[in-house]
Structure 1
Amino acid sequence: MAADLGDLAAFVAVAEAGGFREAARAGNASASSLSEALRRLEAGFGVRLLNRTTRSVAPTEAGARLLERLKPALGEVAAALDVVNGFRDRPAGSLRLNVPVSAARLVLPKIVPPFLAAYPDIHLDVVAEDGFVDVLAAGCDAGIRYEERLEPDMIAVPIGPRSQRFATAAAPAYLDRRGRPAHPRDLLEHACLRGRFASGASTEWEFERDGETVRIEPGGPLTVRVGTATDLAVEAALAGVGVITLFEDWLRPHLDSGALEPVLEPWWPRFSGPFLYYPGRRYLPAPLRAFVDFIGARRG
């Protein structure tokens, strides 16, 4: 049978999202239109492609085989159609980025406004999360990651500051009450505000000075989800609850105002800044190419 390209794309969207409503929320179609597209496909093939329950949708064996072959084919179709974008005066389309919450807060605010001003026909969709995800499997065109989190077979280009530090700080009132640490291990006797990754692992506090590295896992009254609840830890530090370690740029306004006091500043570790990374394809969609070129021009 000659299947409609839109119906095939609907099948892929529903199968990957695991449901009609989920696929509708992720795209620009309604759940009912996606359901109708699946009905047409299955009627035309004479084969069930998706098993549906009240809670989930999963491909049948036939659907799984079709999905495996269809995803790369639709990707090639999208790339072929996007070639036309190269003949426009201004690139157009959507660009979806997966970034850490820290990058959304500290890196992108200086980049996004001028980029959107330069490319008004591009729609930027930013997904901010701190879990380890496969950017392409998550439906994103590119991501921002730090060097230790870069995936293989991806192109990485610097974006944002090339060097950053983690800062440790506390409210002056807290330090007056509990004392000022002279060595990182002194923090083991302090109330520390910790972070936990989506995986459940707690963050380790690392300090460096004159070639010496010290790693500790302090205790404290508050643990928050890294990224999404970090502002709660900052507010607790400002209120005098305990000591916090975080990106220096995140704490800088409070350090400059005096609301937070630096702790162990000679020990603050420095690390390389983030990278924009994307698949090493010969052809990039026009919105992504525009973003890569824009980042490169700013670096230059």
Structure 2
Amino acid sequence: MKPDLATITAFVTVARAGGFREGARLSGGSASRLSDQIRRLESQLGVRLFNRSTRSVALTEAGEGLLNRLSPALDEMELALDVVNSYRNRPAGMLKLNVPTAAARLVLPDIIPAFLAAYPDIRVEVITEENFVDVLAEGCDAGIRYDESLEQDMIAVPIGPRTQKFAAAASHEYLRKHGMPEHPRDLLDHACLRGRFASGALHPWEFERGDETIELNPTGPLLVRPGGGTDLAVQAACAGTGIIYLFEDWLAPYFDRGDLIPVLADWWPHFPGPKLYYPGRRLVPTPLRTFIDFIKTQPVRASR
């Protein structure tokens, strides 16, 4: 007996989710039912598709090959069914976005609540990820990133402020003890709070004034992973541990309260705002198309 569509869909769900429990959560079914469907599929095909242990579920080589062949077909089928969405009075469905923490904190709060209020039948899932990823491989509809090189078939749409600034800051206590830097190179003699990406790369500190541009890699007592560790670095700066370099919009509330003092403000560099990117090689799902149309109608918020 040939595998039916439900069984094939169960296989893809578990493979993409990386396990039966997560697959059940995403599909709204049960882990035991998914497990039964996978065992039935393996029996019908006569090959093991997953290596299972008490702690993990991983695709075998045969499973990898099957997933690679099935995924494009199922994606196209979902998109074909989504065409029906355009005949509804109100768009519906799931929109899954992959974004950096900075965008989730500084850009989406001005957009997502209003979007959900305007389209109550659309649900949004936001995944924070600092690395540039293949949004399709991650099961997302679109991503938001800053100034990365996109693949040739990607489409990019501006979202949020069109320009932003990086800012350097320190507490009153730190500056009282160590003095105010007068030039970016003075930072090489200061305690600087840095961020290291998962790749191991350190984000350089860039400064500009007029035609002069300076890029530095200062050192300091604290190194964090951008995203989850950024708030720790900010709190450490407020406590007098060192100088922080971050989005001006992120630091704005701390400036307003007096917890942090601007450092080298006339050297802060401007950079292009974020972009929403998505694959241009396939039909755009209705929730994503609705979101794109929505952000195009929103007033552009100026950075601080």
What TM-score range do you get, normalising by the shorter chain? over 0.9
Equivalent-residue separation in structure 2 for 1:229 and 1:55 (angstroms): 27
Quote the residue 1:270 is aligned against: 270
Pair 1:26–1:71, CA change in 2 (3 A): same
Distance 2:228 2:239 in 1: 19
1:294 is matched with which residue? 294
Residue 193 (structure 1) aligns with: 193
Partner-residue secondary structure (3-state), 2:246: strand
Q: In structure 1, what is the Cα distance between the partners aligned to 2:102 and 2:48?
A: 44
Match of 1:12, as an amino acid?
V
- Displacement of 1:119: 0.4
Per-residue deviation, 1:72:
0.8
Q: CA deviation at 1:227?
A: 1.2
Counterpart-to-counterpart distance in 2, 1:166 and 1:60:
45
Tell me which moved more, 47-56 or 254-263. Answer: 47-56
Hey, what does 1:32 align to over in structure 2? 32
In 1: Cα distance, 2:97 partner to 2:20 partner: 23
CA contact (8 A) 1:130 1:226 kept: yes
Which whole-Å CA distance do the structure 1 matches of 2:92 and 2:163 have between them?
33
- Equivalent-residue separation in structure 2 for 1:129 and 1:228 (angstroms): 10
Q: Give yes or no for contact 2:194–2:202 (8 Å, CA) kept in 1.
A: yes
Question: For residues 149 and 195 of structure 1, what CA distance do their matches in structure 2 show?
Answer: 21
- SS for the counterpart of 2:202 is coil
Preserved CA contact (<8 Å) 1:129 1:228: no
**Residue 216 of structure 1: CA displacement?**
1.2
Distance 1:157 1:218 in 2: 34
Query: Aligned residue for 1:211?
Result: 211
Counterpart code for 2:236: A
Kept in 2, the 8 Å contact 1:195–1:203? The answer is yes
Partner of 2:140: 140
> 48-57 vs 87-96, which deviates more?
48-57
- 2:246 maps to 1:235: no
The separation in 1 between residues aligned to 2:60 and 2:170, in whole angstroms, is 56
Q: Distance in 2 between matches of 1:149 and 1:298?
A: 25
Once the two structures are TM-superposed, the CA of residue 282 in structure 1 deviates from its matched residue by: 4.9
Deviation of 1:22 (Å): 4.1
Q: Which residue of 1 aligns with 2:163?
A: 163
Distance, in Å, in 2 between the alignment partners of 1:134 and 1:156 is: 14
1:79-105 deviation per Cα after TM superposition (whole angstroms, max 9, x unaligned): 111111111111111000000000000
Contact 1:85 1:92 in 2 (8 A): yes
Distance across 2 between alignment mates of 1:10 and 1:154: 29
**2:158 touches 2:274 (CA, 8 Å); kept in 1?**
yes
Aligned residues between the structures: 300
Point out the more displaced range, 24-33 or 199-208: 24-33
- Cα distance, 1:55 vs structure 2: 4.2
| Aligned residue identity for 2:136 | L
**Do 2:18 and 2:57's aligned partners in 1 also have CA atoms closer than 8 Å?**
yes
Distance 2:248 2:60 in 1: 50
Residues 98 and 129 in structure 1, CA contact (< 8 A), matched pair in contact too: yes
Q: Secondary structure at the match of 2:271?
A: strand
Give the aligned CA root-mean-square deviation in angstroms.
Answer: 1.8
1:94 aligns with 2:94: yes
* TM-superposition CA deviations, 1:90-146 (whole Å, max 9, x none): 111100000000000000000001000000000100001212322111110000011
Q: Percent identity?
A: 65
Amino acid at match of 1:34: L
State the AA in 2 paired with 1:138: E
Give the match for residue 183 of structure 2.
183
Query: What amino acid maps onto 1:93 in structure 2?
Result: G
